[in-house]
């Protein structure tokens, strides 16, 4: 018999889901941690940092198509089965891209960059949607921290390994390891769906993107979350751009650039892991409102450090801080906010909020950067970043106030 404040013991199906989800997040983030440094290095070598805003804008447009397809299946198909199928399709697309690059077909580095940003947002979205639909709320503070930890361990393995793989062969060849990991993740997703999946009740008509907007329209919580997530991603994207400029200026060799990018992301994973191990106790002791407010305040301090010391090391610290918070405390705290919402809000509405906010924010940031370059003031991106951090803080206050009024 459990005490009033204790959670009941795990059932066999809950235990299967726990270990299955932990394994999937490890594999999928290991794949991304190889794909991201290799793809970014190839892209910077071919087109330079000035091409990034246009690439991010194209990613934002591509995310609209992806979320349309996703919404047609998420309400009628087991989410973890969608994960497995999506991982398999992603692996097949990567094989086609790599073969086309080997054949010398032009512009495939562009295609590779778009693939890199779109495949991961789909798999991460499906992963968290399935977790939100199946994890008991009283366990989420601890389980979500565990998932983030396993994801960081997978990320560290990929980020530390990508430099070694590039040195042994080439940056482009390392991407074949991603194909293998995606195939493993796809098979694992299908297996988990078979033993511990959850089938959604089919609606009378297949859901569309319009249905997702209807869900969003009627949910104030989703609107606040969309504004918050969009602002955070604009901040992170602006920091990414300034880091990319610095890395392109300081490292001209492709394989050396791949290695240093991997090392920076490994530092991100280490910082994330440290925070993730403390996620449960921090959220329990400090509370969600204070956690959500402290993140932009601390990031603002890191960015101010780059203002005072405009060196590569300083922008690297700002990048590590932005990503580490995003992958740990902010991710877990944000996901917990979805748990009390309805199934439609957690699937169709959440897809619009997460998939589109994350990638459309990159599009918005890219337009800002394109405008700054057009007027000859790309250096002003730093001050735009600080302004967006202040907006982030204001939105967090509004979100916290709304939750206090509900209580």
Q: Please report, in tens digits, the pLDDT of each residue of the chain (407 residues total).
A: 445 445 566 677 777 777 877 888 898 889 998 898 889 888 888 888 778 778 877 877 777 677 667 666 665 556 667 778 888 888 999 999 999 999 989 889 999 998 988 888 788 877 877 777 676 666 766 777 678 778 878 887 887 777 778 778 788 888 998 999 999 888 887 777 676 655 554 444 444 556 556 666 666 677 777 888 888 888 888 888 888 888 888 887 877 887 888 788 888 878 887 887 777 788 878 887 888 888 888 888 888 877 777 778 888 888 998 888 887 788 777 777 777 666 666 666 666 676 667 667 777 777 888 888 778 777 777 888 899 999 989 888 877 765 554 44
Name, in order, each residue with C-beta under 8 angstroms of 140's C-beta and a sequence gap of 6 or more.
Answer: 335, 336, 339
Those residues with Cβ within 8 angstroms of residue 287's Cβ, 6 or more apart along the chain or in another chain: none
Q: How far apart are CA 287 and CA 27, in angstroms?
A: 31
**What is the predicted pLDDT for the residue at 94?**
93
Distance of CA 259 to the CA centre of its chain: 21
Domain limits at 129?
12-198+206-406
Going by the DSSP 8-state scheme, the letter that residue 169 receives in this structure is: S
The verdict on residue 1 lying in a domain is no
DSSP state of 207: -
Look up residue 209 and give its two tokens: 């993107």
* pLDDT for the residue 215: 65
Q: How many helices (H) and strands (E) does the chain have?
A: 17, 0
Residues 72 and 91: their CA atoms lie apart, in Å, by 22
Contact status, residue 283 vs residue 219, Cβ threshold 8 Å: no
Using alpha carbons, select from 298, 302, 344, 343 the residue that is nearest to residue 319: 302
332 falls within a domain: yes
CATH number for the domain harbouring residue 324: 1.20.1250.20
Give the relative orientation of helices 108-134 and 12-47 as an angle to the nearest 10 degrees.
Answer: 160
Judged on CB neighbours under 10 Å (0-12, 13-18, 19+), 32 is buried
Question: Looking up tokens 């967090």, which residue turns up?
Answer: 396
Q: Is 0.75 topped by the overall pTM?
A: no
Per the domain annotation, does 266 fall within a domain? yes
Quote the pLDDT of residue 203. 46
**Cα distance between residue 111 and residue 94, in whole Å:** 10
Question: Is 338 contained in some domain?
Answer: yes
Give the Cα separation of 9 and 7 in Å (integer). 7
Our count of domains for the chain comes to 1
Q: How far is CA 302 from the centre of its chain?
A: 21
CA Rg value for the chain: 20
Which of 310, 351, 85, 322 minimizes the C-alpha distance to 208? 351
- 363 within some domain: yes
Report which of 215, 238, 239 is spatially closest to residue 226, judged by C-alpha positions.
215
Q: Is residue 6 part of a domain?
A: no
DSSP per position, 305-372 = HHHHS-SHHHHHHHHHHHHHHHHTHHHHHHHHHHTTS-HHIIIIIHHIIIIIHHHHHHHHHHHHHHHH
* 350 is a domain residue: yes
Is 4 a member of any domain?
no
Total number of residues shown for the chain? 407
Closest to 166 (Cα-Cα) out of 177, 156, 174: 174
Longest dimension (CA), the chain: 69
**What is the pLDDT at residue 204?**
45
Q: At what angle do helices 12-47 and 79-102 cross, to 10 degrees?
A: 30
């Amino acid at each position: 018999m459990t005490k009033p404040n204790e959670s009941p013991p795990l059932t066999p199906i809950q235990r299967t889901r726990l270990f299955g989800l932990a394994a999937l997040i490890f594999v999928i983030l290991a794949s991304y941690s190889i794909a991201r440094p290799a793809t970014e290095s190839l892209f910077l070598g071919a087109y330079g940092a000035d091409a990034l805003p246009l690439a991010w804008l194209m990613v934002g447009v591509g995310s609209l198509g992806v979320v349309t397809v996703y919404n047609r299946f998420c309400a009628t198909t087991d989410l973890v089965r969608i994960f497995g199928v999506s991982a398999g399709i992603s692996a097949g697309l990567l094989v086609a891209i790599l073969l086309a690059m080997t054949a010398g077909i032009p512009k495939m580095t562009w295609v590779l960059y778009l693939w890199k940003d779109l495949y991961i947002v789909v798999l991460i979205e499906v992963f968290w949607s399935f977790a939100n639909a199946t994890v008991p709320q009283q366990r989420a503070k601890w389980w979500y921290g565990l998932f983030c930890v396993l994801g960081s361990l997978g990320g560290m393995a990929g980020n530390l390994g990508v430099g070694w793989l590039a040195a042994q062969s080439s940056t482009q060849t390392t991407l074949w390891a991603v194909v293998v990991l995606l195939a493993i993740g796809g098979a694992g997703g299908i297996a988990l769906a078979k033993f511990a999946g959850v089938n959604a009740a089919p609606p009378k008509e297949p859901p569309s993107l319009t249905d997702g907007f209807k869900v969003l329209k009627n949910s104030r919580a989703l609107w606040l979350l969309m504004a918050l997530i969009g602002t955070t991603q604009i901040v992170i994207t602006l920091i990414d751009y300034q880091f990319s400029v610095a890395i392109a200026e300081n490292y001209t060799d492709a394989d050396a650039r791949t290695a240093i990018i991997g090392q920076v992301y490994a530092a991100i994973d280490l910082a994330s892991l440290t925070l993730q191990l403390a996620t449960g106790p921090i959220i329990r002791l400090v509370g969600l409102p204070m956690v959500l407010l402290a993140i932009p305040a601390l990031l603002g301090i890191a960015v101010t450090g780059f203002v005072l010391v405009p060196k590569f090391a300083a922008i690297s610290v700002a990048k590590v801080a932005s990503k580490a918070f995003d992958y740990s405390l902010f991710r877990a705290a944000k996901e917990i906010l979805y748990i009390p919402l309805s199934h439609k809000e957690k699937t169709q509405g959440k897809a619009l909020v997460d998939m589109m906010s994350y990638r459309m924010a990159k599009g918005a940031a890219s337009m800002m950067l394109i405008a700054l370059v057009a007027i000859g003031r790309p250096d002003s991106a730093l001050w735009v970043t600080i302004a967006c951090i202040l907006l982030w803080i204001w939105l967090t206050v509004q979100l916290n106030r709304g939750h206090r009024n509900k209580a």
